[in-house]
Structure 1
Amino acid sequence: MIIKSGLDDEQFPESLTCHSILELPLYSTKEIMRERLTKALESKGGFRA
């Protein structure tokens, strides 16, 4: 597991589709995680490349 420092609540999830990996930051609440995942899935540029 990789632990990133900083404001994880502001980060979007990252995906590595060639390896079927979804990396989620350590969000402070489930609600923030749900909001970030939903926004990433709804927008064309939500996931970081």
Structure 2
Amino acid sequence: MGLLLLEALAALAVLVLIVWWTMFSGRKGGERQERGDEADGDES
């Protein structure tokens, strides 16, 4: 029972690490701004 609980805790820790890594490992200044007319979307 203890081993099962330890394995579940390890899986939860890995999940939290993956979510934290993907949320906070981006660019320091955010997403870069595109230059030109196509940066605003589909304007025809």
Q: TM-score, normalised by structure 1?
A: 0.31
User: Highest relative contact order (Cα 8 Å, sep 6+), 1 or 2?
Assistant: 1
Which one has a bigger Cα radius of gyration? 2
Q: TM-score, normalised by structure 2?
A: 0.35
